[in-house]
Amino acid sequence: MKIMKRGIICILVCMLMILTTVVPVSAHAVLKTTARPLITGNILYVGGSGSNNYTKIQDAIDDANSGYTIFVYRGTYFENLMISKSITLQGENKEITIIDGQEQGNVIFISKDHVTVRGFTLQRGGWGHYAGVWIDNVNFNKIEGNVILDNHFWGICLNGSSFNTIKSNTISLNNLGIEAGGLGFNGYTGRTSNYNIFTNNVISSNEYIGIGFGSSKRNLFYQNILSNSSIGISFWHNINNVIYKNVFIDNDVGLELQFSRQNIILSNNFLDNQQDAYFLMEHLIQRNIFLRNYWNASSQLPFVIHGGFLALNRSFNNPFKCIQIDWLPTQKPYDIPGME
Spatial separation of the C-alpha atoms in residues 132 and 153, rounded to whole Å = 9
Q: Is residue 8 part of a domain?
A: no
pLDDT digit string, tens, across residues 157-182: 999 999 999 999 999 999 999 999 85
SS3 253: strand
Instruction: Give the residue, 2 or 313, on which the prediction is more confident.
Output: 313
Domain end, chosen from 215, 238, 261, is at 238
Query: What local confidence, expressed as pLDDT, does residue 285 receive?
Result: 73
DSSP states of 143-163 as a string?
A: EES-EEE--SSEEEEEES--S
Query: What local confidence, expressed as pLDDT, does residue 175 receive?
Result: 96
Task: Tell me the pLDDT band of 18, cut-offs 50, 70 and 90.
Answer: very low
Spatial separation of the C-alpha atoms in residues 293 and 326, rounded to whole Å = 7
What length does the chain have? 340
Query: What local confidence, expressed as pLDDT, does residue 27 receive?
Result: 33
pTM score, whole prediction: 0.87
Residue 254 confidence (pLDDT) above 90: yes
State how far Cα 279 lies from the chain centre: 21
Domain end, chosen from 187, 209, 238, is at 238
Query: What local confidence, expressed as pLDDT, does residue 293 receive?
Result: 98
CATH number at residue 76: 2.160.20.10
- Asked if 163 and 61 sit in the same domain, the reply is yes
Domain end, chosen from 193, 209, 238, is at 238
Query: What local confidence, expressed as pLDDT, does residue 327 receive?
Result: 97
Mean pLDDT within 61-76: 98
Least confident interval from 138-147, 154-163, 185-194: 185-194
Q: Is residue 132 part of a domain?
A: yes
Instruction: Report which secondary-structure segment, H or E, holds 3.
Output: helix 2-22
Task: Tell me the pLDDT band of 191, cut-offs 50, 70 and 90.
Answer: confident
Query: What local confidence, expressed as pLDDT, does residue 20 receive?
Result: 43
Mean pLDDT within 49-68: 97
Spatial separation of the C-alpha atoms in residues 34 and 252, rounded to whole Å = 47
Interacting residues of 184 by C-beta distance below 8 A, sequence separation 6+: 212, 214, 215, 236, 237, 258
pLDDT digit string, tens, across residues 19-43: 444 443 333 333 334 455 555 569 9
- Asked if 121 and 269 sit in the same domain, the reply is no
Q: Is residue 226 within 8 Å of 210, Cβ to Cβ?
A: yes
Least confident interval from 8-12, 266-270, 302-306: 8-12
Q: Is residue 136 part of a domain?
A: yes
- Asked if 135 and 115 sit in the same domain, the reply is yes
DSSP states of 4-31 as a string?
A: HHHHHHHHHHHHHHHHHHHS--------
Task: Tell me the pLDDT band of 317, cut-offs 50, 70 and 90.
Answer: confident
Q: Is residue 13 part of a domain?
A: no
Query: What local confidence, expressed as pLDDT, does residue 136 receive?
Result: 95
- Asked if 196 and 274 sit in the same domain, the reply is no
Q: Is residue 114 part of a domain?
A: yes
State how far Cα 78 lies from the chain centre: 25
Task: Tell me the pLDDT band of 263, cut-offs 50, 70 and 90.
Answer: very high
Residue 339 confidence (pLDDT) above 90: no
Query: What local confidence, expressed as pLDDT, does residue 15 receive?
Result: 54
- Asked if 192 and 298 sit in the same domain, the reply is no
Query: What local confidence, expressed as pLDDT, does residue 214 receive?
Result: 92
Query: What local confidence, expressed as pLDDT, does residue 181 receive?
Result: 82
Spatial separation of the C-alpha atoms in residues 164 and 219, rounded to whole Å = 10
- Asked if 205 and 339 sit in the same domain, the reply is no
- Boundaries of domain holding 226: 31-238
Considering only the C-alpha atoms of the chain, give the largest distance between any 2 of them, rounded to a whole number of Å: 72
pLDDT digit string, tens, across residues 75-129: 999 999 999 999 999 999 999 999 999 999 999 999 999 999 999 999 999 998 9
- Asked if 267 and 311 sit in the same domain, the reply is yes
Q: Is residue 110 part of a domain?
A: yes
- Asked if 48 and 177 sit in the same domain, the reply is yes
